Copies of this chain bind each other. A is one copy, B any other.
C-alpha cells in the first residue's frame, strides 16, 4: 500500500478557501489503500507580521521531508510588494530547484473566453523557473535621489536552459501533435537569446520527430489571441513565461481554472503545485473564489507522484463540471463538493 505525505500551505486571502476544496477532492479521488498525510504550514502575511519571517532554513528543512507541496496563494496588500514574492514564493522555487514551471492551457467546450469564436486551445507552457530576470541579481545606487540607477540582471546558463528545453522537447514528443515553440526576444536580448536559440537547436536534434518553431515574445502575445490553436508546447524563460501564461489563462477560461506545477524533475526536492492566480484579497472569505485551478493543480501533483489514473479522473471531472456549469454561480465549497462527488463516483 502507498502513502502521500503532503505539505499544505494555504497562505493568504482566497488561498485558505481554495486549498480546502483541493484537499477535499484529493481525499475523494485517492483509493482507500493510499494513506494521505497532510501537514499544514502557516506561511504568508500573518506569519510575516507576527515574526518577521517569510521562509527560514528550518522551514526549508521541514518542507523538504514531504513528497510534494500544495500551495494556495501568498500575498497581501499589508505587506510591501516583493517581500513575500521574493522572500517566500521565489525563495522556495529557487531553494527546491523548481526549474520546470508547468502551466497547461485548455479551453473546454462551453467555457467562457474573451475570444470570439471559441478557438481550440490545448497547449502547455514550460516556463523556466530558476534563472532569467528572477534571480534577484541587480541593485540600486543613490537610492531615492535624482541620480538613482537600478539594475536587474537576467542570468542564463547553458546548464539551466538545456535542462528545461530538454524537458519541453520530451513533453512535446509525448503529445500527439509533437510541436514545440521557443518564445524569446533573441533579436534584442541577443546574449540570452543566442544561448536559448543555440541550445534549442542542439537539443532539438535529439528529437527529430518534434516540429520546432520560434516566436518573439511580442509576436507570441498576438498569436495567443488571434490563433491560440497553433500552440502545442511552448518553452520560454522565467519572465516571458510569467507574462504569457497569465495571458494564456485569460484566453482559456480565466485564472480561475489555471493550474501550475513548480517541478524538480530530478526529484531531489519536493515539487510544489499551485493555482496561477493570486490571493485576491478583495474577494477573500466570501466563498466566491473558484477552486478549480487548485483542484487542477492537485491533478498535476498526482500525476507527478505517479497517480496518473487519479489525475485523469480529476481532469475529466473538471471538464464535465465546467461544461455543465454554464452561467450558474456557485460557492467555492459547492464547486469543491461537486468535483469531489464526480471523482469519487
Contacts and interface: CB of A to CB of B under 8 A. Distances in A.
B155 A149 contact: yes
Nearest to A140: B191
A138 B246 contact: no
Contact of A145 (B158, B187, B197): B158
A247 B225 contact: yes
A114 B75 CA distance: 33
A153 interface: yes
A217 B244 CA distance: 10
B146 A158 contact: yes
Number of copies: 2
Interface in A76-95: 81-82, 85-86, 90
Nearest to A217: B243
Contacts of A219: 246
Contact of A147 (B114, B133, B158): B158
A218 B150 CA distance: 21
Interface residues of A, number: 68
Interface stretch (A57-65, A248-256, A295-303): A248-256
A50 interface: no
Interface in A135-175: 136, 138-140, 142, 144-159, 162
Contact of A250 (B185, B195, B197, B225): B225
Interface of A: 75, 81-82, 85-86, 90, 113-117, 133-134, 136, 138-140, 142, 144-159, 162, 185-195, 197-198, 217-219, 221-222, 224-226, 239, 242-247, 249-251, 254-255
Q: Which 6 A-B pairs have the closest CB atoms?
A: A218-B246, A221-B247, A148-B158, A152-B154, A150-B191, A85-B187
Given A147-B157, A148-B195, 11 more contacts: A75-B187, A82-B193, A85-B187, A85-B188, A115-B116, A144-B198, A146-B162, A150-B157, A152-B153, A152-B191, A218-B242
